[in-house]
Amino acid sequence: MSSQAIRVGLLGIGTVGSGAFTVLKRNQAEIMRRAGRGIEITHVADLDVARARAIVGEGVEVVADGFELVRHPDIDVIIELIGGYGIARQLVLEAIEHGKHVVTANKALLATHGNEIFRAASRRGVMVAFEAAVAGGIPIIKALREGLTANRIDWIAGIINGTTNFILSEMREKALPFASVLAEAQRLGYAEADPTFDIEGVDAAHKATILAAIAFGVPMQFERCHVEGITSLQSEDIRYAEQLGYRIKLLGIARRRELADGSGGIELRVHPTLIPSRRLIASVEGAMNAVWVKGDAIGHTMYYGKGAGAEPTASAVVADLVDITRMFTSDPGNRVPHLAFQPDALSDIRILPIDEIESAYYLRMRVADEPGVLADVTRILADSRISIDAALQREAGEGENQTDFILLTHRAIEGRVDAAMARIEALPTVLSKVVRLRMEELS
């Protein structure tokens, strides 16, 4: 073992930062046996200096200015746990420019500025490790980048936001509306005071962007990810899905698709999705995360665990520190590439716009309870080359003259479904906008 310990500067000692400090200190002996040398957090930067000092105790230098750490000559590795796109980007790029390796849990930063950051790191010969950026303590980045490197990845489907999964689980189990479950999630600490990034799907889209880049060897393209959240999801759709043998989950999906003209494309999307209840991922409840991967050689694999929290996320941060320590003196050309593929071999395959993706669909509409409605709707779908897999019509109550009508379709191109929905909504017997949810068999 080397006698020279790796010296680490920690930017931000909030929930994850304090967890990383605790795990590293508690498991120091075990980590040294694995890494071959000691790993010490010697410096911390946090705006709340007094609170930071209370957490780390004696022997660790605490400052308010993160730039002191990224420029410090005695620090080997920077852990960035500040979050956001602004100051975090500046600090990471400055750390790289000063020849320091970086560990980050910042999925927003990587999804939006990862291409710039990885180019800078390659130029300076340093590593940027980011296992904690996706699915907390689940080692999905390492699995995709190393464990599945022999595979051509067909698709990834992930429950990668615990807040939305908790909300959807509660809506299903307790038959409660979205607003009341969100309030409960905030009370329990599963949702932030401002939950927008979670409930609108943005957080999951950041993570899906990272997974797609590693799975398919493409640059980060967050701006091309289609994003829908769960704010407009209705309790009745969760109930109808259950009756039809499905559960609704907010999924991040990245799928390779061969097109009819012989070209290729990648679907990159986040949205509420109907999944057959028999699928293992459909049983992932509460704030847990799961990522399902289909490779050509291995087939199906699923990775499950806690996607957030102090110590689960700290587990991934410290694992990245150990990886960097093991490779500290290695030739940069022999290290695992940031996005699994060699930087000069990234693909320019197209990210498909949402109207070109292919999916099965759940369609719900409020219709007049009279003869001929089903025939009119099915004729429009047939004209658009959309075939029906199943139908459910709620019997109208006594004295009612309208009812809910639900159709499940076979796989179809989204643009055709959009056009068919517009024609269906124009029918005089259709009394509402059509609720459209996508369905995935994951087979």
User: Quick count: other Cβ atoms within 10 Å of Cβ 266?
Assistant: 21
For the chain, the average pLDDT equals 94
> Which two tokens mark 389?
């897999």
Q: Based on the domain organization, do 297 and 149 belong to the same domain?
A: yes
- The pLDDT tens digits for 42-96 are 999 999 999 999 999 999 999 999 999 999 999 999 999 999 989 999 999 999 9
Give domain status of residue 274, yes or no: yes
Specify whether the CB–CB gap between 145 and 340 falls below 8 A. yes
Give domain status of residue 111, yes or no: yes
> Residue 322 is part of a domain; what is its CATH number?
3.40.50.720
Q: Is the pLDDT of residue 397 over 80?
A: no
Structural domain count, the chain: 3
pLDDT of residue 443: 83
207 is catalytic: yes
E strands, 46-166, where? Answer: 61-63, 77-80, 101-104, 128-129, 153-159
Phi, psi angles (nearest 5°) of residue 217? 65, 45
Q: Based on the domain organization, do 172 and 302 belong to the same domain?
A: yes
CA dihedral 251, 256, 258, 262 (to 10 degrees): 140
Rounded to an integer, the average pLDDT of 272-281 is 97
User: Residue 3's pLDDT band (boundaries 50, 70, 90)?
Assistant: low
Q: What is the DSSP letter of 349?
A: P
> Residue 430 is part of a domain; what is its CATH number?
3.30.70.260
Give domain status of residue 272, yes or no: yes
Write out the DSSP string of 207-256. Answer: HHHHHHHHHHT----GGG-EE--STT--HHHHHHHHHTTEEEEEEEEEEE
- The pLDDT tens digits for 349-390 are 999 999 999 999 999 999 998 888 989 999 999 999 999 999
Q: Based on the domain organization, do 176 and 301 belong to the same domain?
A: yes
- The pLDDT tens digits for 9-46 are 999 999 999 999 999 999 999 999 999 999 999 999 99
User: What contacts 294, CB < 8 A, 6 or more positions away?
Assistant: 153, 154, 155, 156, 300, 442
Q: Based on the domain organization, do 156 and 235 belong to the same domain?
A: yes
Long-range CB pairs of 52-60 (<8 Å, 24+ gap) are 52/13, 55/13, 55/18, 55/21, 56/13, 56/21
Q: Based on the domain organization, do 245 and 380 belong to the same domain?
A: no
| Residue 424 to residue 401: CA distance in whole angstroms | 19
| Residue 107 to residue 88: CA distance in whole angstroms | 11
The domain in which residue 294 lies consists of 145-306
Give one word for 215, left, alpha or beta, with left for phi > 0 and alpha for psi -120 to 50.
Answer: alpha
Choose the catalytic residue: 107, 207, 249, 294: 207
Give domain status of residue 352, yes or no: no
User: Residue 2's pLDDT band (boundaries 50, 70, 90)?
Assistant: low
User: Quick count: other Cβ atoms within 10 Å of Cβ 337?
Assistant: 17
User: Residue 333's pLDDT band (boundaries 50, 70, 90)?
Assistant: confident
Q: Based on the domain organization, do 336 and 389 belong to the same domain?
A: no
Q: Based on the domain organization, do 272 and 173 belong to the same domain?
A: yes
Q: Based on the domain organization, do 81 and 105 belong to the same domain?
A: yes
C-alpha distance from residue 255 to each of 94, 110, 167, 205, 293 (Å): 35, 20, 26, 14, 10
pLDDT of residue 158: 97
pTM of the model: 0.95
Q: Based on the domain organization, do 273 and 315 belong to the same domain?
A: no
Q: Based on the domain organization, do 54 and 12 belong to the same domain?
A: yes
Give domain status of residue 350, yes or no: no
Specify whether the CB–CB gap between 106 and 80 falls below 8 A. yes
Q: Based on the domain organization, do 179 and 298 belong to the same domain?
A: yes
Rounded to an integer, the average pLDDT of 108-122 is 97
Give domain status of residue 328, yes or no: yes
Q: Which amino acid, 217?
A: G
| Residue 196 to residue 192: CA distance in whole angstroms | 8
Give domain status of residue 220, yes or no: yes
CA dihedral 120, 121, 122, 127 (to 10 degrees): -170
**Measuring CA to CA, which residue among 54, 76, 73, 52 is closest to residue 62?**
52
Find how far residue 101's CA is from the centre of its chain.
24
Angle formed by the axes of helices 107-124 and 202-216, nearest 10°: 40
Q: How many helices (H) and strands (E) does the chain have?
A: 15, 18
Q: Based on the domain organization, do 75 and 182 belong to the same domain?
A: no
**Measuring CA to CA, which residue among 402, 420, 230 is closest to residue 434?**
420
> Which two tokens mark 158?
């992930």
Q: Is the pLDDT of residue 334 over 90?
A: no
